[in-house]
Structure 1
Amino acid sequence: MPGKQNPSLKDPELYEKLRDDGASKGKAARISNAAAKEGRSTIGEKGGEAGSYEDWTVAQLRERAKEIGLTGYSGNRKSELIAMLRDS
C-alpha cells in the first residue's frame, strides 16, 4: 500500500527503488537493510564478477538453462541460449 511503511525496513527509499527495478520483496528488504547497516558503497563492492556467457560452451549454457528450469532450449543456438538466460 502506498504510504504504509514497514518498520523493519532500514532504508525504505532503496527498498522502493529495488522493487521498482523488479526485485522481490525479500531481496529488496535484505539489500536495503544491509546497505543501511554497512553503507551503500560497501554493499556494491560485495558482488563478484560473473563470467560472460559468451565464454561458456553450448553444453554449459544448456546445463545452466536446465538448472534454472528453462524449457525449450535444446534446439537453440548459442546466441539464443544466452538471450534466454539473460532474460530469465
Structure 2
Amino acid sequence: MDINVLRQIAVVLGAVAFIAICWWAFSPKRKKRFEEDAQLPFADEEQSRRAAYKADGKDIEDESAAGGGQEHPPSAEQNKGQDKQ
C-alpha cells in the first residue's frame, strides 16, 4: 500500500470521528445533562457557603426568615474595621 492511501484513510477516519463527536455533543437528548453539569461548580460554591455559615453557628434559612441576615458572608473589606475594636 502506498503511504498516500494510508494518509487518506486516516483523514477520512479522523473526519468521521470528529463529526461523530460533534453529533454526540450537540444532540438534543444530551442538552439537559450538559446544562446540569454546567451548574456543578456553582452547587459546590453554595454547599461551601452553607458549611461556612453552619461553622459560625448560624443558619442561612433562620437569617433569611428573620429578615435581618445577609445573603453572603461579610467580605474582608467589611470586616476590616471590626478586628481593631
* TM-score normalised by the chain length of structure 1: 0.24
Counting helix residues as a fraction of each chain, which structure ranks higher?
2
Greater RCO structure (CA 8 Å; 6+ sep): 1
Higher Cα Rg: structure 1 or 2?
2
